[in-house]
Amino acid sequence: MHLNEQTNSRPWRIRPDGQAKVTGELRYLTDMTSPGKLIGRVLRSGVPHARLLSVDTSKAKELPGVVSVLTSKDVPGLNGFGIAEPNQPVFCEDLIRYEGDAIAAVAAETNEIAERALELIEFEYEELPVLDTPEKALSSDAPLLHAEGNILHETSYSKGDVQKAFNLCHAIVEETYETPRQMHAFMETEGGIFVPEKHGKLTVYSPTQHGYKDQMQLARILGIPADDIRVVSSPIGGSFGGKDELNVQPFGALLALSSGKPVKMHYSRKESVIAGLKRHPMKVRMKSGVNQKGKLIAHQVEIISDTGAYATLGGPVLNFATEHAIGCYIIPHIELKGKAVYTNNGISGEFRGFGGNQVIFALEGQMDRLAEKINVDPWELRSRNLRTLHDLGPLGQRVLPNDGPSQVWEAIQETPLYKKTEHPPSVDEPWIVTGKGMSLAMHGSGLGYGIPDPAGGQIRLNEQGKIEVAFGHEEFGQGLLGTLEIMLLDHFNCDVEDLEIIIGDTALVPPSGSSTASRTTNMVWRALQNMKRPFLDKLFFKVNELTGEPVEQLQTGKNGIWKEAKQGEGREFVLTFQELAASCTEPLKCSTEFDFPVTPDPVIGGHYLYGSTSVIAEVEVNMLTGMIRVTGIDHVVAAGEVVNPLGYLGQIEGGSIMALGFTIIEDALMENGNYVTKNFDTYLVPTIADVPEIQHVEAVEELPEGDVHGPRGVGEIGSVALAPAIVSAIKQATGKWVTKLPVNPETILNVWDEPFPMDKEERKKGRERV
């Protein structure tokens, strides 16, 4: 299905939250206020590595207008958080491990007073050597950042005999690839309002990708039952993984409970940069070899990820990277090792693509270089090595039959950009050279084997006579509300006015697991599949009871229940949803609980469901500056049925633009453990002027026979494979292979001695060559 043009066969619906968002009318949680609220602020260490000797808050406490000043001594429960491993202290106790580490927090009547109070807090420390690279952190004499050492997590996988296999290779490529510290750059920075309730309870209005997880983590910190905390978590002004982990919540919650007053917190962009998560910078060394026929026979990989000061999801990200460093290729001999290394840099964590983007850049780079080395078309080389329908997964685990990689391999050859013919450099601008490149990837959905991955939902006819669904998922811009609306309209043939969708509030919704890992669309689809029949049975049984109409002839429709059409007659209206609801003493409801489908084989982090994508990119390289302009991108995505065409297109375009930034401009620079790029004036994200005018998106919807798992999420897949395609296009334009992202214009510029063939004859020759 070509997604760029509206067709009548599919629902082409504007997202329900769209207008309020573009007009700025929508109130995010960080726009909320409360009478008598205090302002909460956090004192950061400002130094990347030091022994904390003392903290003196006495002067701050004396300042008029200051209500509460907290340090590590004031945490009633666990002084720590982290989704996978709670090793990040809410407040530092004795060791400062990064410049964003919290020393203390203040609640005061105004922001100015809070700021002054932070200045009055005195803390003494003794600086320690800064471990600002994984290499330094891994050296034998490095000080330990955590009791267990400087390695958060290690992965390994091997099969066959790589060393022997390399000896038999016809061609081998060995290269080290480096990727940047990308920032999520969400529009709304971290924040929220924290309201103490009666009997020591608390309501938290703060964005997150998993309200119930925040509730659990906060209960652990506050030392109160989880049920005493209500988390309201949507709508969210962007997250991309960056608000999956706790951020302001521990401080806001502690300050609200200690002061007894509502506390508002909202990070400045600068504080968000310093304290917030980033994408893991990775160094990926790959050695890959093929035989005479161009079949991959040996693949050796070493991944080093800079996970920063604390764990959060650094371990699972490395697991994901490990699996995707093999991806959709069939290789008999593999040796793979990964290390997530603690450093004194900013914390790395969850980010759209979850470690896939980094290794796919490396893996696809290897395929292109191998093809060049043995003089085979790079797309042909991929074809010779792609998995087929019933092959095992990358880590040898059983997976759902999947031939997505072949489907996208094929379909990309029908895209406009693939078919576009090349043109020689123009006479007017002989310094502009162009190239095209392609790449391919398979991307796992769900959290993977070994990580609890529950899902669920609830449906009922509520008191107002609306079909109400409730999910513990979040809306952070990805379009959940729009997609849910389309699914519900499809199931119940009713009006939008007959629906009520409830998300993002632990007081109102059942646990549904996290809104991450391209799992949400799939999970709400399955939940509705599970609940539809029993829910309709309940409705129709009740209608039958009330009206005597036969159950088997009833159906839902606009405004209420209808009786199906007899031959020659129209269908007949039976009663409204409101009438039905009014006649029930209790709402008619159903719920479901299940787990994300997972491989039966005990391979930690291994996936069972995958989406696939291929992408083609066209670039212009300016020989005057070495700068890259991406002038065209076309995508093919195989992820099952397209439920919401506009949402799907938005996810692929958006993911792709994020990947464009990752490839050519985005990098949160750090020097000696301190951020250099502290705001959007130096940390650059693409603007509309940096992206191609159109990205064609083709969705391959056919799933293998017997695949009943429905539509896969596409929240990440648009972002995973673009970098290697751009780098391949740059190679075609310049002859230069890039190994480090973002592409440094200086390395490109150094390809040439002169900015364009300044001699007329040379120019002519250049054009003739093309």
Could you tell me if 638 and 404 are in contact, meaning their C-beta atoms sit under 8 angstroms apart?
Answer: yes
Interacting residue with another protein among 199, 419, 423, 760 (CB under 8 A): 760
454 φ/ψ angles, rounded to the nearest 5 degrees: -75, 160
Q: Which is nearer to another protein, 130 or 636 (CB)?
A: 130
Strand 191-196 to 202-205 pairing: antiparallel
Query: Which x/- pattern over 107-136 shows residues binding another protein (rule: CB under 8 A)?
Result: ---x-xx--x--------------------
768 interacts with another protein by CB under 8 A: no
Distance CA 519, CA 606 (A): 15
Q: How far apart are CA 83 and CA 271, in angstroms?
A: 21
CA atoms within 13 A on the CB side of 116: 14
Single out the residue of 461, 500, 682 nearest to residue 586, CA to CA.
461
Stated as kind and residue range, the H or E segment containing 531 is helix 520-547
CA distance 484 to 471: 10
**368-397 binders of another protein (CB under 8 A):** none
| Closer CB to another protein, 529 or 677, in the complex | 677
Q: Which two tokens stand for residue 750?
A: 């150094």
Least distance in Å: CB of 65 to another protein?
8
Angle between helices 356-373 and 314-324 (to 10 degrees): 20
Interface residue with another protein, options 237, 281, 315, 686 (CB under 8 A)? 686
With CB under 8 A as the contact rule, the residue among 389, 676, 694, 770 that binds another protein is 676
Stretch of 27-35, 126-134, 476-484, 751-759 lying at the interface with another protein (CB under 8 A): 751-759
682 binds another protein per the rule CB under 8 A? yes
C-alpha angle 617-734-750 in degrees, rounded to nearest 5: 130
Contact 154, 338 (CB under 8 A): yes
- Which stretch in 9-17, 554-562, 583-591, 750-758 sits in contact with another protein by CB under 8 A? 750-758
Compare residues 377 and 754 and give the one whose CB is closer to another protein. Answer: 754
- 100 with 275: CB under 8 angstroms? yes
Would you list the DSSP string of 453-477?
-EEEEEEEE-TTS-EEEEES---SS
- C-beta separation of 150 from 142 below 8 A: yes
Taking the C-alpha atoms of residue 723 and residue 733, their distance in angstroms, rounded to an integer, is: 15
Measured from the CB atom, is 267 or 610 closer to another protein?
Answer: 267
151 or 627: whose CB is closer to another protein? 627
When binding is defined by CB under 8 A, the residue of 270, 293, 390, 571 that contacts another protein is 270
Helix (H) or strand (E) holding 501: strand 499-503
Q: Cβ(348)–Cβ(149) under 8 Å? A: no
Question: Where in 40-69 is the site for another protein (CB under 8 A)?
Answer: 65
Residue nearer to another protein on the CB measure, 78 or 684: 684
Q: Tokens 């840099």 sit at which residue?
A: 345
Residue 270 or 420: which CB sits closer to another protein?
270
> Are 524 and 487 within 8 A, CB to CB?
yes
Q: Which of 532, 745, 751, 766 binds another protein (CB under 8 A)?
A: 745
Residue 687 sits in the site that holds another protein (CB under 8 A)? yes
CB of 627 to another protein, least distance (A): 7
Shortest Cβ 414–another protein spacing (Å): 30
**How far is the C-alpha of 129 from the C-alpha of 20, rounded, in Å?**
50
Residue from 5, 705, 746, 768 that binds another protein (CB under 8 A)? 746
- On the question of a cis peptide bond just before residue 235, with omega within 30 degrees of 0, the verdict is yes
Taking CB under 8 A as the rule, does residue 671 contact another protein?
Answer: yes
CB of 367 to another protein, least distance (A): 29
Q: How far is the CB of 619 from another protein (least distance, A)?
A: 13
Out of 669, 672, 702, 735, name the contact with another protein by CB under 8 A.
669
Q: How many CB atoms are located within 10 Å of the residue 148 CB?
A: 11
Coil, strand or helix at 372: helix
Q: At what angle do helices 249-259 and 211-222 cross, to 10 degrees?
A: 50
d(Cα 690, Cα 681) in Å, to the nearest integer?
A: 16
Q: Specify the residue, 113 or 204, whose C-beta has the smaller distance to another protein.
A: 113
* Residue among 65 and 450 whose Cβ is closer to another protein: 65
Whole-number minimum distance, CB 755 to another protein, in Å?
A: 4
Q: What is d(CA 243, CA 231) in angstroms, rounded to the nearest whole number? A: 14
Please say which residue, 541 or 680, places its beta carbon nearer to another protein.
680
Using CB under 8 A as the binding rule, whether residue 749 contacts another protein is answered as yes
> According to the binding rule CB under 8 A, does residue 684 interact with another protein?
yes
Using CB under 8 A as the binding criterion, the count of chain residues that bind another protein stands at: 42
How far apart are CB 429 and another protein at their closest, in Å? 8
Sign of CA dihedral 535, 539, 542, 548: negative
Buried b (16+ CB within 10 A) or exposed e, 262-296: bbbbbbeeebbbbbbbbbbbbbbebbbbbeeebbb
Q: Which of 58, 148, 754, 770 binds another protein (CB under 8 A)?
A: 754
Q: Is 759 in the site for another protein (CB under 8 A)?
A: yes
d(Cα 719, Cα 250) in Å, to the nearest integer? 31
Least distance to another protein from the beta carbon of 757, Å? 9
- Cβ closest to another protein, residue 262 vs residue 686: 686
Taking a C-beta distance cutoff of 8 angstroms, is the pair 456, 512 a contact? yes
Cis peptide before 425 (omega within 30 of 0): no
Per-residue contact track with another protein, 597 to 636, x per CB under 8 A?
--------------------------xxxxx-x-------
DSSP code, position 670: E
Beta carbon nearer to another protein, 520 or 656: 656
> What residues numbered 245-264 form the site for another protein, per CB under 8 A?
none
Q: Is 428 in the site for another protein (CB under 8 A)?
A: yes
Q: Does 427 bind another protein (CB under 8 A)?
A: yes
Under 8 Å between Cβ of 348 and 181: yes
From residue 67 to residue 106, the character string flagging contacts with another protein as x (rule: CB under 8 A) and all else as - is ----------------------------------------
Which part of the chain contacts another protein (CB under 8 A), choosing from 396-404, 437-445, 518-526, 758-766? 758-766
| Residue 755 sits in the site that holds another protein (CB under 8 A) | yes
Neighbouring-strand partners of residue 733: none
Q: Which residue has the tokens 């002519």?
A: 764
199 vs 769 by CB, closer to another protein: 769
665 touches another protein by CB under 8 A: yes
Beta carbon nearer to another protein, 27 or 764:
764
Q: Are 277 and 182 in contact (CB under 8 A)?
A: no
Binding footprint of another protein on the chain (CB under 8 A): 65, 110, 112-113, 116, 268, 270, 427-428, 430-431, 623-627, 629, 665, 669, 671, 676-679, 681-682, 684, 686-687, 689-690, 745-746, 749, 754-756, 758-760, 763-764
